[in-house]
Amino acid sequence: MSETSSIKPSGSSTDAGPFHAAEIAVQRRAGVTDDADRSGRRGIRRYMPEQHRQFFAEQPFMVFGGVDASGQPWATLRVGAPGFVSSPDAHTLRIEGGALPGDPLAESWHTGALIGGLGLQPSTRRRNRVNGKVLSVNGDIVTLEVLQSFGNCAKYIQGRAPEFVARGSAGAMPEVEYAVELNATDRALLARADTFFIASANLTEEANLARGVDVSHRGGMPGFVRIDDANTLTTPDFSGNRFFNTLGNLAHDPRAGLLFVDFESGDLLYVAARAEIIWEGQELAEFPLAERLVRFRITEVRRSRAALPFRWSAVDYAPQFPALKPAQEPDSSVWRKLRVAAVHDETPSIRSFYMESIDDMPLPPFEPGQFLPIRVPVEGVGAPLVRTYTLSASNDARRYRISVKRQGVASNWLHDHLAVGMNIDTMTPRGAFTYDHSATRASVFISAGIGITPMLAMLQHAIAARTTNAQTKPLYFFHGARNGSERPFSSYLKELASHHANVSMHLFDSDRDNDSNGSVDSMTSSGRIDVAALKRLLPFDDYDFYLCGPEAFMRDLYEGLRALNVADERIRFEAFGPASVKRAPGVGSSNAATQQTGGVAVTFSRTQRTMQWLPKNGTLLEFAEACGIDAPSSCRSGICGTCSTRVLQGSVAYDGPTEADIEPGNALICMSRPLVDENGSPQALTLDL
C-alpha cells in the first residue's frame, strides 16, 4: 500500500483513519502515531495537482508496484519518450509503451488491478506519488483512475540523468533468466548498488482506505545493501516521512518485491522476498544513519539483461550521505563528536573553547562569519539543547574556536561543565553571514559585545588572504564594549593592528570609569559607536560594511548608514538576539531589483538568531537548514503541510501554488520567501523556529 493509498483522501465522507492497523502498530512502536495521522490526513488529494500532472509527463520512466496472480508484490519500470505518461484530466493517468522484457507484472495490468506509482527525477531529486486502479487496458495503453496523489521529500535520492540508447538489432529480445538465489553477477550488482525500489501490499478489505499497493524508493551509499548469503539481504531503514507504509505493509504481509537497476548495462534485477523488521540490537551499528533494519529472505530472482534502454550520467550522491564519503565531503546534517582541546577565559563572562577532531582527521572548512551548531546536554531538560555559536577564529583544519558569553541555560552549562578532554556533539559549520572574498572595496567591521566573534574571524581571514602581488585593501575594525575589562581579545586586536599597516583599529568604551584593568591608548575612545563616529574616523571612500551586535545597535547603525546613501547591498549584518532591522533598498526600487540585490532580516525566535536572507538563499526552509535551524519538512512542494511554521512578524510570498491547509498565522516555509511590500521594501520576518 502506498503513501497515497494509505491516506484518507481529502473530501472523503468516511471517518476511517488514514492507516491500517499494522501501519499504526509500527508507527506506535516508532513513537510517531499522532504526527503521522496529522500529516497523513492533510497531505493527500484525490486528484493530481497541475504540477504533478506536468511532472509525470516530463519523465522518461516511471516506477510502478503491483501484485501478480499469487499476490506476490513486484516493483517494475515503464519507459518511453517524455509524454508517454500523460493525464487527460486531474483524475486520470494514461501510460503508453507497454511492459519491458521480463517484467513480472506484464500480465497483471488488468481492469480493477490496484497499482502504486512513483514519478522520480534523479537529476533534481524530485519525486511525486500517485495511486490508482486500472480502468482499462487497450493494447499497450493502460488507463488508471487516480485515487490519491501527493509529493515526497527529496531525501536519499542519488542525482544522475538518463539518456536513451538503441536497443540493438531489430527483433532482438533481451535475455531473461530465472533463479531462486543470487549468482555472482547479481551479488556484484547489489554490492555497488546505491538505489533500489520496493513494492509491498495490503489488499484486505479491512484495510479500508489504506488498501492498496506501495512502491517506494530506497537510497544509500554503495554497500548499504548487505549480502548475507545467496538467499539473504539486509538493508537499513533511514528516517523518512514517518508514515511507515512499507514497514506497515510488511508487518501485515512480509512478501516484498525489490528492483535493482544496473545503471551501466541497463540490466534489471527483480527479487521476490519475505521481509523481517529488525528494531534493535548491535547489528544496527553496522549501518550508519539506520534507525532499524529490514532483512529479506529471497524466494525468487529474475534477471532481465539490457532491458532498460538508458545509460546514466555519473552519480551525485544525495546530501544525506556525504558523512559516509571521504572526510573532505562532510554531511552538514550529521552530528559528530569533537574533543575540547583547550579552554581560555577572554573576560569574566566570555570563555573560548578550542575543539579538535577525535580521529586526527582534518576538520571541515568554513567561511569566516559562519557558526557551529552544538548539542548541549543540560541536566533535567530532557533532549539536549541545540545552540549555535559563531566561530571566532578564521579557518583552521586542526581546531575550531568558539567564544561563548555566559547568558543562558546552555551557555551556563558550557561555562560550568565543558572542560579539556571532554567530547561534545557538533555539526558542520554553516551560516549565510559571511565575508565577501571577491570584493575589492575597503571593508569595515563594526560590532558590539559578543558580536565581535564573526568580525574577528573575518578580519583574520582578510589579513591572511593578502598576496604580495595584490593591492593591500584597507580594513577598518570597530568594536564597542562597556570597558576594556569586558572586551574579549583586546590585547590581541591591538597587537594585530600594530603589525599590519592596512588595519585601522577603533575600540570604544561606553563605561570606562568602571574599568579597573583597562588602559587608554590611541586605539581606544570613550563613548559608543555611532554614525557620527564613523563619519569622523573613516576617510571618504567606498566601503563594504559588516555589522553584528544587539538590536538597537544594529538598527541605529543600519539606518544611519542608509541615510548617508550607503547602498543597501553593501551593508551585511547578523544580530545576536531578536532584531527588527528593516532593510530599505532605496526609494523607487522595484520588487525585482530588491530580490536581486537586497536582503531581509529573518529572525529564528527560539534560537534568538537573526540572519540576512538573500534571494540566493532560496526558500525559507532552505535558508533555515543552511543556518542550522531544526525545521521539520517532508514533501518540500507545499502539499503535506509538515513544514507549517508560525510567523511571529512580517509576511511571506509563495514561489508557486500550495495545497496543504495553512493555519492562520502560519506559513509553509518549503515554498515561501520573505515578502517584499508594494513599495519594493523587504519586511523583517520572525519565525517560530
CATH number of residue 380's parent domain: 2.40.30.10
Domain contains 495: yes
State mean pLDDT over 523-536: 92
Question: Higher model confidence: residue 171 or residue 396?
Answer: 396
- What was the pLDDT predicted at 634? 61
Give the CA-trace dihedral at 658, 662, 667, 670, to 10 degrees.
Answer: -40
Task: Say yes or no to pLDDT of 180 above 90.
Answer: yes
> Looking at 336-350, 405-419, 562-576, which range is the least confident one?
562-576
Task: Say yes or no to pLDDT of 331 above 90.
Answer: no
pLDDT category of residue 3 using cuts at 50, 70 and 90 = very low
State mean pLDDT over 310-325: 74
- pLDDT per residue over 458-474, tens digit each? 999 998 876 433 457 89
Same domain, 422 and 438: no
- What was the pLDDT predicted at 656? 66
pLDDT category of residue 640 using cuts at 50, 70 and 90 = low
Same domain, 369 and 444: no
- What was the pLDDT predicted at 471? 57
Q: How many domains does the chain have?
A: 3
Domain contains 413: yes
CATH number of residue 571's parent domain: 3.40.50.80
Same domain, 454 and 399: no
- What was the pLDDT predicted at 371? 85
Domain contains 606: no
Same domain, 182 and 220: yes
State mean pLDDT over 638-657: 80
Question: For residues 73 and 215, what is the distance between their CA atoms, to the nearest angstrom?
Answer: 9
Task: Say yes or no to pLDDT of 680 above 80.
Answer: no
State mean pLDDT over 30-36: 78
Q: Tell which phi-psi region holds residue 166, choosing left (phi > 0), alpha (psi between -120 and 50) or beta.
A: beta
Domain contains 651: no
- What was the pLDDT predicted at 203? 92
Set of cell numbers at residue 52: 504533478
State mean pLDDT over 226-231: 94
Domain boundary among 373, 408, 426: 426
In this structure, the number of other CB atoms found within 10 A of the CB of residue 547 comes to 27
Question: For residues 683 and 595, what is the distance between their CA atoms, to the nearest angstrom?
Answer: 12
Cβ-Cβ contacts under 8 Å for 228 (sequence gap 6 or more) = 234, 295
Question: Higher model confidence: residue 426 or residue 359?
Answer: 426
Task: Say yes or no to pLDDT of 306 above 50.
Answer: yes
Beta-ladder partners of 310 = 164
> Looking at 344-358, 408-422, 585-599, 659-673, which range is the least confident one?
585-599
Task: Say yes or no to pLDDT of 318 above 60.
Answer: yes
pLDDT category of residue 7 using cuts at 50, 70 and 90 = very low
**pTM, full prediction:** 0.54
- What was the pLDDT predicted at 387? 81
Same domain, 495 and 518: yes
- What was the pLDDT predicted at 468? 39
CATH number of residue 144's parent domain: 2.30.110.10
- What was the pLDDT predicted at 237? 92
SS3 of 213, please? Answer: strand
- What was the pLDDT predicted at 302? 96
- pLDDT per residue over 384-443, tens digit each? 777 888 999 988 888 999 999 998 888 999 999 999 999 999 888 877 778 887 788 899
Same domain, 68 and 199: yes
Domain contains 522: yes
Question: For residues 622 and 462, what is the distance between their CA atoms, to the nearest angstrom?
Answer: 28
Domain boundary among 576, 598, 617: 576
Question: For residues 446 and 576, what is the distance between their CA atoms, to the nearest angstrom?
Answer: 14
CA distances (Å), origin 353, targets 72, 330, 493: 58, 22, 19
Question: For residues 194 and 185, what is the distance between their CA atoms, to the nearest angstrom?
Answer: 16
Domain contains 126: yes
| DSSP category for residue 469 | T
- What was the pLDDT predicted at 9? 37
- What was the pLDDT predicted at 659? 61
Contact 84, 67 (CB under 8 A): no
- What was the pLDDT predicted at 322? 56
**Domain span including residue 134:** 21-312
Same domain, 258 and 375: no
Domain contains 276: yes
Same domain, 113 and 259: yes
Same domain, 184 and 300: yes
Domain contains 584: no
Same domain, 449 and 403: no
- What was the pLDDT predicted at 388? 80
State mean pLDDT over 510-519: 64
Domain boundary among 548, 576, 604: 576
Same domain, 68 and 127: yes
State mean pLDDT over 270-290: 90
Contact 199, 256 (CB under 8 A): yes
Question: For residues 622 and 556, what is the distance between their CA atoms, to the nearest angstrom?
Answer: 29
Burial 41-65 (b: 16+ CB within 10 A, else e): bbbbbbbbbebbbebbbebbbbbbb
Question: Higher model confidence: residue 618 or residue 493?
Answer: 493
Contact 47, 91 (CB under 8 A): yes
Same domain, 465 and 406: no
